[in-house]
Amino acid sequence: MHEYDTALKLLLRESADLAMRQIAGDTPKWINVELPEVRNMRVDLLGETAGDQLIHIELQSRNDGRMALRMAEYCLGVCRLFERLPRQIVLYVGNESMRMAAELRGADVVFRYRLIDIRELDAEPLLASDQPGDNVIAILAQLRDRAGAVERIVQRLAGLEAGARDVYLRLLLISRRVARDGRSSGTGGEENADS
């Protein structure tokens, strides 16, 4: 669902430093980019760390047998545009067990990227974080007490200014619904049925 894709991108981009460190090992400064090509490929998230490392993250809610090929295409498109290779991660947010290959092999070529199931993230540090985005993402990670976590997050969000509180409460509701209902169907995208 496009709404979920947008919500998760917003959380990761705006206020989830601890989650990003768990996912990518660093906190990038995000770059809004479309990769030029005959077909218009759009990456979900592309950022740059303080150490000038590009980090590309694709959000995926279904197993895709062609994921490695898509990631290779994105990698080359980013390299053409920025003249350097990105570190790549697919963040799986689907309900089914993750069954995608994390590499593409040919006779003289090997291409790899990192594949992470969001349920493998450690929710406790995310809940303890002072960033509301980390708190909301914790709902999608491995939790011991989901109801208690939601209550803690709502209490924290209540202390935010009205505009920010409304945004994060909406993101929390979307995340909670996705976690409860089996992470629903796809994250949107022009190029992909599931990005």
What is the structure's pLDDT at 146? 85
Let me know: does 60 contact 94? Beta carbons within 8 Å: yes
Which residues on neighbouring strands pair with residue 29, listed in sequence order?
48
Distance of CA 134 to the CA centre of its chain: 12
Please report, in angstroms and rounded to a whole number, the separation of the first and last CA atoms in the chain. Answer: 10
What is the structure's pLDDT at 138? 92
What is the structure's pLDDT at 185? 40
Helix axes 162-180, 146-158, angle to 10 degrees: 170
* Cβ-based neighbours of 84, under 8 Å, separated by 6 or more: 54
β-strand pairing of 45-48 with 54-60:
antiparallel
The pTM assigned to this predicted structure is 0.78
* Cβ-based neighbours of 123, under 8 Å, separated by 6 or more: 138, 141, 142, 143, 144, 149
Enter the tokens of residue 98.
């993750």
Q: pLDDT tens digits, the chain, 195 residues: what are they?
A: 567 777 788 888 887 888 888 888 888 888 887 766 557 789 999 999 999 999 999 999 899 999 999 999 999 999 999 999 999 999 999 888 999 999 999 989 999 999 999 999 999 999 999 999 999 999 899 888 888 999 999 999 999 999 999 999 998 988 877 776 654 444 433 334 354
What is the structure's pLDDT at 35? 66
CA distance 46 to 87: 10
Let me know: does 86 contact 46? Beta carbons within 8 Å: yes
